[in-house]
A and B are shown apart, each in its own frame.
Chain A
Amino acid sequence: MVKIEILDQKDTRSGFGAGLLELGKKNNDVVALCADLTGSLKMDAFKREFPERFFQAGIAEANMIGMAAGLATGGKIPYTGTFANFSTGRVYDQIRQSVAYSGKNVKICASHAGVTLGEDGATHQILEDIGLMKMLPGMVVINTCDYNQTKAATIAIAEHYGPVYLRFGRPKWPVFTSPEQKFEIGKVWHINEGNDVSIFCTGHLVWKAIKAGEILADMGIEADIINIHTIKPLDTVAVLKSAAKTGCVVTAEEHLMNGGLGDSICQLLALNNPKPVEMVAVNDKFGESGTPDELLVKYGLDTSDIVRAVEKVLKRK
């Protein structure tokens, strides 16, 4: 198992804020909209630096998405910012009609995704958003794993013409990807080469998968660990190659089983080269209040859950 160093502890949303600021400096067409969560989304720096390109929508997400569609029609590259819950479920029809079906170049940037939002509880935690967004034809869906990857993705998506859903989170989290990385939409990050089991992971659970990989290595199991930051379009070549090599698969994500990364992997494998799969994800439940760590344990999204899933899937090989 390769050694992955922790460089720092930072929230992924701060990576978004830093990326947006950097992007704003080099691309005048980038504009940002926020629905009364500028501090939470770390958009303050962009707002300060480029007040004429920042639009405070107020607590009115539907209008924010519509205005973003209009700004995009006028040739701008709008980035909208609010919690994942209010970025997706609350405005699904606005995204469907005015953004996705209309083919608009809008970047929907969503923080506080998943149970790691913590104490606010299930009203603000969303575990369905990847599914909602990936069902929309033409929508790119990205879930980043640390500060550096989030920053790189924020900058990279401006180069892609079309709607993008960028998902990140609230808690401080290990930073372990390179600050100099080049983010490529739809291309996996192959973290560790192994022949025994494939672990496809996204978002905060990438770090958990790395920790699981270390435990598995001690047990004599070499995992092929692959970070799938882009859930759609899926890097089908990398997934099929790894699954063919190892013969069994574990998926790990902070999302429901329905509609998440695991569901995309299962569809791909079932249609092309069926292999046993275990999914580390939430099974048809809402979250609740608690600390991020407590919630990850209670909802079966911890390192030990990934290790157990690997043990189980190896028996089904």
Chain B
Amino acid sequence: MKFASFMEKNLNSAQLIQIATQVRRDILRMVHAVQSGHPGGSLGCTDFMVAMYFKIMNYKSSPFRIDGKDEDVFILSNGHISPLFYSVLARTGHFSLNELKTFRKLNSRLQGHPATHYNLEGVRIATGSLGQGLSVALGMALSKKLKNDKNIVYCLMGDGELEEGQNWEAIMFASHNKVDNLIAVVDFNRQQIDGSISEIMGINDYKSKFEAFGWQTFEMNGNNMDDILANMKLALSNTGKGKPIMINMKTEMGAGVDFMTGTHEWHGIAPSNEQLAKALEQLPETIGDY
């Protein structure tokens, strides 16, 4: 299957799913190769990220402009799902696919968590120290308003990450100041490192809390391509109406690989040779391995 024209963004849902399958292969192979990294959350958010970068967002991958002038901007706050981010960036032409081989190795631009320090195309801020991305996205959204740039700033955050207080500072600022060119997507996978969120810090209903802070909210199934496309379209049509937007995106950690799905056990663990082989059997090569 060839996707020479994928940047034209006329891909249908079935084609996007094919790309997502390839990206999942990339994630597992990258994490396996260096025996470190975070496959669980990466696999869970794959469908969403593929939809964003291959269909929804308006941007140029080359030449990459860090200031995001006249284009949509994406901030990955939960930086530990870097293998997913890097795979999608490489496969949308931000940098060479070959560079995925260097993930987490010495002298690589593909640091364990995304960084701007090595001028990696597609990355605008260092993230991974949780709870900081939304504030940065907010700052970028403000800069777009100052420049009368109508494009949108997106921020993906983890649900466990919402335990960080800085998020709530950003949440109250955004609604008070009517920052309505910002869409925050919360990866509601209900897991964090030490176990399920309901056991650790069970605030559970994030959506109503955002609403109480004055945000417009939506819900979607982050592992269903049609649902993602429909709800992102709906969310976009609600920008510019005086409220920041939050999407509660239900996903399963490890989605796409049966034995990794729905558990926090694969948050930060690399698969063994046997586990990799078993996982890749479920994810046939579609647009070619790196």
Binding site for B on A (CB under 8 A): 31, 52-53, 55, 57-58, 60, 62-63, 65-76, 78, 93-94, 96-98, 101-104
Contact = CB atoms under 8 A, between A and B. Distances in A.
Contact of A70 (B117, B128, B129, B136): B136
A72 B135 CA distance: 12
B55 to A, nearest CB: 24
Interface of B: 66-69, 75, 115-117, 124-129, 131-132, 134-144, 146-147, 165-166, 169-170, 172-173, 177
A74 B132 contact: no
Given A66-B138, A68-B139, 19 more contacts: A55-B142, A63-B166, A63-B169, A63-B173, A66-B132, A71-B142, A73-B67, A73-B125, A73-B139, A74-B67, A74-B139, A74-B142, A75-B147, A97-B128, A98-B135, A98-B136, A101-B115, A101-B126, A102-B117
Contacts of A102: 115-117, 125-126
A50 to B, nearest CB: 11
Contacts of B116: 101-103
Contacts of B146: 31, 52-53, 74, 76
A7 to B, nearest CB: 37
Given A31-B146, A53-B146, A70 B138 contact: yes
Given A97-B126, A98-B136, A102-B125, A63 B143 contact: no
Contact of A103 (B117, B140, B144): B117
Contacts of B67: 73-75
Contact of B136 (A67, A75, A76): A67
B115 A73 contact: no
A203 to B, nearest CB: 30
Contacts of B128: 97
Nearest to A93: B129
A97 B127 contact: yes
20 contacts: A52-B146, A57-B169, A62-B169, A63-B169, A63-B170, A67-B139, A67-B170, A67-B173, A69-B135, A70-B125, A70-B141, A70-B142, A73-B136, A74-B146, A76-B146, A78-B139, A97-B126, A97-B129, A101-B117, A103-B116
Nearest to B177: A55
Nearest to A94: B132
B69 to A, nearest CB: 7
Contacts of A66: 132, 134-136, 138-139, 166, 170
A101 B67 CA distance: 17
A15 to B, nearest CB: 26
Contacts of B124: 73
Contact of B132 (A72, A78, A97): A97
Which 10 pairs across A and B sit closest by C-beta, in order of nearness? A70-B139, A66-B135, A74-B143, A63-B169, A60-B169, A67-B139, A70-B136, A62-B166, A70-B140, A71-B139
Nearest to B170: A63
Contacts of A52: 146
A69 B136 CA distance: 6
A79 to B, nearest CB: 13
A55 B170 CA distance: 13
Contacts of A31: 146
A60 B173 contact: yes
Contact of A73 (B68, B147, B169): B68
